């Protein structure tokens, strides 16, 4: 399991303090300077909640921590940036873009431009936030409108490189001083953070979605593995391992970006190859042998799936001249 992001005892990042206050109005105003105007309402009895914020800007991104006690937060639709939020301690119940979830040390939320963000934060909650300007994301990816999956699985090994880079910046004084004093180094670190985030977290380009060609890295790796090993007795955990993500993350990515599951996609590849083989009819193999050759080990289920997919039995395909075969 990926280690959660932590501060060591003498974290250099504690030098990046933006403010400390026990006045809610001041807290709201100071956070708004770095994010955007929002409402902040104490949920406890006291209206004087101790709060602090630490934040480091790179070029088109910034990251930091916020602690303000038991609060109700309501942020209007994000203007022109992405917001990543998870908890270093405590927890929060958040809502945005039609999604409701609990965030903590292992589960984060990703809110995009135009989405309203609301949440109830526990008294002991310290948030880690990362702000990514839409312009910086566009420059990095070339995508005009990039959508990031809303749920961030911090236990996913694919996100470990991103977390490790953050860990260096918040705990290593020499690295932090470098990005503070050298804009070129800050830009380089920013590119690494964006690259490692997108390599480990599902995302899509609106233009690609319009073409039906969404391609998160983990999904592409899974599809390539399936194409290569479709005839073998592979299982979901094998595909997830090849993609470098957890099975839960892979299932979520396929559902969001392919409207299917990895195992259904595997079945479609096997069915398509079996049909091509049946239409070829040059090697003289029987239907059962062909099905087994392409990865089907349950012949009754294969026949049922085949008929549902192509509207005819395998034996009918075998007798059909190629020029009259139904297109699947």
Query: For residues 144 and 210, is the Cβ–Cβ distance under 8 A?
Result: no
Q: Which two tokens stand for residue 307?
A: 């008929």
* Residue 159 CB burial class (10 angstroms; 0-12, 13-18, ≥19): buried
Query: Residue 168's CB: how many other CB atoms inside 10 A?
Result: 14
Placement of tokens 């639709």 in the chain: 77
- Residue 281 tokens, joined: 């009819």
Q: Which distant-in-sequence residues (6+ apart) come within 8 Å of 233 by Cβ?
A: 295, 297
Helix, coil or strand: residue 166: helix
Residue 264 CA to residue 68 CA, distance in Å, equals 46
Q: Residue 47: what pLDDT?
A: 64
Asked whether 129 and 65 are in contact (CB, 8 A), the reply is yes
pLDDT confidence of residue 321: 52
Question: In angstroms, rounded to a whole number, what is the distance separating the alpha carbons of residues 55 and 88?
Answer: 15
Long-range Cβ contacts of 274-280 (<8 Å, 24+ apart): 274/302, 274/306, 274/314, 275/306, 275/310, 275/317, 275/328, 278/314, 278/317, 278/318, 279/317, 279/320, 279/322, 279/325
Q: Which domains does the chain have, with CATH numbers?
A: 12-201 (2.60.120.10), 207-259 (1.10.10), 264-324 (1.10.10.60)
CB 106 within 8 A of CB 41: no
Q: Per-residue pLDDT tens, the chain, 328 aa: give them.
A: 445 666 654 567 878 999 999 999 999 999 999 999 999 999 876 567 789 999 999 999 999 999 999 999 999 999 899 999 999 999 999 998 888 999 999 999 999 999 999 999 999 999 999 999 998 988 887 777 888 999 999 988 889 999 999 999 988 889 999 999 998 889 989 999 999 999 899 887 765 554 444 457 888 889 889 999 999 999 999 999 999 888 888 888 888 777 788 999 999 889 988 988 888 766 678 899 999 999 999 998 999 988 888 788 898 888 765 444 443 4
pLDDT at 215: 59
The model carries a pTM of 0.64
Q: Supply the pLDDT for residue 284.
A: 77
């Amino acid at each position: 399991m990926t280690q959660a992001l932590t501060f060591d005892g003498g974290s250099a990042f504690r030098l990046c303090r933006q403010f400390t206050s026990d006045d809610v109005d001041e807290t709201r105003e100071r956070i708004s300077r770095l994010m955007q105007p929002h409402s902040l309402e104490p949920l406890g009895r006291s209206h004087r909640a101790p709060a602090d914020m630490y934040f480091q800007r790179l070029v088109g991104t910034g990251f930091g921590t916020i602690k303000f006690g038991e609060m109700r937060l309501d942020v209007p639709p994000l203007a022109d940036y992405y917001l990543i939020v998870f908890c270093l301690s405590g927890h929060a119940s958040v809502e945005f873009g039609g999604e409701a979830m609990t965030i903590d040390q292992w589960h984060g939320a990703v809110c995009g431009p135009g989405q309203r963000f609301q949440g109830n934060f526990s008294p002991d909650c310290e948030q880690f936030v990362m702000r990514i300007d839409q312009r910086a994301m566009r420059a990095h990816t070339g995508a005009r409108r990039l959508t990031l999956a809303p749920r961030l699985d911090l236990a996913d090994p694919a996100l470990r490189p991103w977390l490790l880079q953050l860990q260096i910046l918040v705990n290593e004084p020499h690295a932090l001083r470098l990005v503070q004093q050298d804009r070129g180094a800050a830009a380089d670190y920013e590119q690494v953070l964006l690259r490692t985030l997108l390599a480990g977290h599902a995302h899509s380009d609106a233009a690609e979605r319009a073409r039906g060609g969404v391609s998160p890295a983990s999904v592409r790796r899974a599809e390539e593995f399936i194409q290569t090993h479709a005839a073998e007795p592979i299982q979901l955990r094998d595909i997830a391992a090849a993609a470098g993500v957890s099975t839960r993350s892979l299932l979520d990515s396929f559902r969001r970006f392919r409207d299917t599951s990895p195992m259904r996609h595997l079945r479609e590849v096997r069915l398509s190859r079996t049909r091509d083989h049946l239409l070829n009819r040059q090697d003289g193999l029987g239907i059962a042998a062909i099905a087994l050759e392409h990865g089907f080990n349950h012949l009754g289920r294969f026949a049922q799936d085949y008929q549902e997919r192509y509207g005819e039995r395998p034996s009918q395909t075998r007798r059909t001249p190629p020029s009259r075969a139904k297109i699947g």
